[in-house]
Structure 1
Amino acid sequence: MNTLNKAIVIAGPTGVGKTKISIDLAKLLNAEIISSDSAQVYKGLNIGTAKISEKEKQGVEHHLIDIVEPIAKYSVGNFEKDVNRILNQNPEKNFMLVGGTGLYINSVTNGLSVLPEADKKTREYLASLDNQTLLELALKYDEEATKEIHPNNRVRLERVVEVFMLTNKKFSELSKKNIKNNNFKFLKIALERNREELYDRINKRVDIMFEESLVKEVENLYKIYGEKLYSLNIIGYNELIDYFNGLSSLEEANYKIKLNSRHYAKRQFTWFKADKEYVWFNLSEVSEEEVVKRVHTLFNIKS
């Protein structure tokens, strides 16, 4: 009979303070950390993603940082496969998933739905249809999924029709059937702070990024990768690319990075709050040391 292995998730919004707690806890548990951040997989995107330094790691093994070039496509599907390979090949080790990309974390803890890959011929056929015909087909094949999509959103409508044409099954049904590809039970921990404090931390962190030469980092990367860097749509990079292209001043770029980071933190908070399995700790009310102590206890008593 297979035993269920245990792992920990340390999640929460950007700037909340996941790094220090995860390092302290990893040292206590002799655990390895799997970065669960959709931006930190990219090489060279260091300052703007608040990527952990070698000094900050304090000897703790980290996975899935700096694994692909910014021109490479890396998706939730890639992440799910990479993480499950690490977990399943090392069942005797303690692991922690640390980050703020909820969709990525969820793909490992809850599984992913199995949908067919894009088919070139089908896509070419669908691209040839006018909007009305495409909408009618989508409604015919999967009304439930289609009614959630804006009539002008061709990408999503094409995907609904494509899935049905390739599988003869509805996208709305297949997308709800998640398959979990590991034998781990996850203790889910989420960190928060009072909103004013969190937003102040985010604003200060952006100013520190500018002091640490974020502008130079983005400028160098933009020279190498061009618009492919912009297409990654990562906060801190797109705003400065707009500045380089004369669409804003440097002060406006700084302001937009702070604003977009705060909005992102709010969306992250909403995502994690929706998952009732998370145990929450408010770092405005409890010390980091106390959180580490309590999570360590929870991990040892949870079966």
Structure 2
Amino acid sequence: MKEKLVVIVGPTAVGKTKTSIELAKAFDGEIISGDSMQIYRDMDIGTAKVTSDEMEGIPHHLIDIKDPTESFTVAEFQNLVQPLITDLNQKGKLPFLVGGTGLYVKAITHNYQFAEGPSDEDYRNALETFVEKHGVVSLHEKLKEIDPISYKNLHPNNYRRVIRALEVFKVTGQPMSDMQHDEEKPSPYDLVMIGLTMDRDVLYSRINERVDKMMEAGLLEEAKLLYEKGVKDFQSVQAIGYKEIYDYLEGRVTLEEAVSNLKQNSRRYAKRQLTWFRNKADVTWFDMGQNGFNENIVKMHTFIEGKLYNNSEISKELKRGGHLQ
């Protein structure tokens, strides 16, 4: 039998945290963070990291496992998550993979075989220097002949992934796009994929409100502390929520402009998240703006139960448990 896995995806601020906790309580589950930034310690406010109170006793994994000065790759994420899913299944716990980082989620649900190979730090540094001198478009052109699929799929501005694609080819002789063939394979898991969505205007309003609450909660102070510790040119602080505040700290924009940019970039990111999951994942969507929260939870509960348990004794036991009103 395949191991069971429930995945909950959706754009920022749509309600993934609260939804996943309610469902994990109902199914005796544990939550694995599928967010590429919540792995970092000391970056709580800007990543909207779940608090201990919000967890309501549900164990959360892959949160606060790296320092902000450390790098983290999707292949490393995969190596951590796969055995964790096995362990939770063996313990009789239902794993919930929850997050908005599309490639991280797909790396698990379809077991991407990454052509990582050994890295070449000198070559990577040389490419970083090339970007500074010649720009991201010139770097992107280097992919055209050696990996035309990645050339087509990667935007020039996503220069770190472009650099990685070039590095993979140099080290292994194989294009990084080879991993994309894994999307056509069936998932190794007994998989349920749930997507959360809502009216675009409502979502954008929630994002703006979330940013205001982050500022009230001390995002400026959190970012300033990282900045003063010398966390400046690292992967962690390239994230939305920190790079905008860094622009303010370095005098490029006013604080008001930084907050406005943060809201705009968050809205754009939410749009990209929705587009990615709709194009690259077999997701069943639930509109969180329709009906009440509890009614949506009941619908998702029924959906998961039907997909994973059918009319089994486990399903009957869940119904007797009275977890949901």
| TM-score normalised by length of structure 2 | 0.80
Q: Secondary structure of the equivalent of 2:290?
A: coil
For 1:123-272, what aligned pairs fall within 5 Å after superposition?
A: 123=123, 163=168, 166-173=171-178, 175-177=180-182, 183-229=188-234, 232-272=237-277
One-letter amino acid matched to 1:37? D
One-letter amino acid matched to 1:272? F
- 1:94 match: 94
- 1:70 match: 68
Q: How far is 1:184 from its partner? A: 2.3
CA–CA distance in structure 2, aligned partners of residues 137 and 229 of structure 1: 24
CA–CA distance in structure 2, aligned partners of residues 297 and 135 of structure 1: 46
**Is the 8 Å Cα contact of residues 142 and 172 (structure 1) preserved in structure 2?**
yes
Within the candidate set 44, 47, 62, 2:45 is matched to 47
**Is the 8 Å Cα contact of residues 5 and 190 (structure 2) preserved in structure 1?**
yes
- 1:56 match: 54
C-alpha change, 1:111 and 1:244, in structure 2 (3 Å) is same
One-letter amino acid matched to 2:79? K
C-alpha change, 1:179 and 1:116, in structure 2 (3 Å) is farther
CA–CA distance in structure 2, aligned partners of residues 250 and 153 of structure 1: 26
CA–CA distance in structure 1, aligned partners of residues 162 and 45 of structure 2: 37
Q: How far is 1:117 from its partner? A: 2.8
**Is the 8 Å Cα contact of residues 34 and 95 (structure 1) preserved in structure 2?**
yes
CA–CA distance in structure 1, aligned partners of residues 141 and 255 of structure 2: 47
Q: Deviations over 1:165-202 (max 9, x none)?
A: 6545444445534699x952220000011011000000
Q: How far is 1:34 from its partner? A: 0.5
CA–CA distance in structure 2, aligned partners of residues 40 and 55 of structure 1: 17
Which ranges in structure 2 are unaligned for 5 or more consecutive residues?
309-325
**Is the 8 Å Cα contact of residues 206 and 254 (structure 1) preserved in structure 2?**
yes
**Is the 8 Å Cα contact of residues 35 and 99 (structure 1) preserved in structure 2?**
yes
Q: Deviations over 1:34-63 (max 9, x none)?
A: 011111100010111111110000000000
CA–CA distance in structure 1, aligned partners of residues 264 and 245 of structure 2: 14
C-alpha change, 1:285 and 1:154, in structure 2 (3 Å) is closer
C-alpha change, 1:149 and 1:45, in structure 2 (3 Å) is closer
One-letter amino acid matched to 1:36? G
CA–CA distance in structure 2, aligned partners of residues 88 and 22 of structure 1: 19
For 1:9-24, what aligned pairs fall within 5 Å after superposition?
A: 9-24=7-22
Which ranges in structure 1 are unaligned for 5 or more consecutive residues?
none
**Is the 8 Å Cα contact of residues 88 and 183 (structure 1) preserved in structure 2?**
no
**Is the 8 Å Cα contact of residues 26 and 96 (structure 1) preserved in structure 2?**
yes
Q: How far is 1:156 from its partner? A: 7.0
Q: How far is 1:106 from its partner? A: 0.7
- 1:109 match: 109
Is residue 290 of structure 1 aligned with residue 260 of structure 2? no
CA–CA distance in structure 1, aligned partners of residues 159 and 239 of structure 2: 24
**Is the 8 Å Cα contact of residues 114 and 175 (structure 1) preserved in structure 2?**
no
C-alpha change, 1:169 and 1:300, in structure 2 (3 Å) is same
| TM-score normalised by length of structure 1 | 0.85
CA root-mean-square deviation: 3.3
C-alpha change, 1:120 and 1:205, in structure 2 (3 Å) is closer
C-alpha change, 1:215 and 1:5, in structure 2 (3 Å) is same
CA–CA distance in structure 1, aligned partners of residues 291 and 218 of structure 2: 33
Q: How far is 1:5 from its partner? A: 2.1
Count, aligned residues: 297
CA–CA distance in structure 2, aligned partners of residues 152 and 56 of structure 1: 36
**Is the 8 Å Cα contact of residues 144 and 172 (structure 1) preserved in structure 2?**
yes
**Is the 8 Å Cα contact of residues 117 and 172 (structure 2) preserved in structure 1?**
no
**Is the 8 Å Cα contact of residues 193 and 283 (structure 1) preserved in structure 2?**
yes
- 2:6 match: 8
One-letter amino acid matched to 1:9? V
**Is the 8 Å Cα contact of residues 239 and 253 (structure 1) preserved in structure 2?**
yes
- 1:32 match: 30
Q: How far is 1:4 from its partner? A: 1.2
One-letter amino acid matched to 2:49? K
**Is the 8 Å Cα contact of residues 88 and 95 (structure 2) preserved in structure 1?**
no
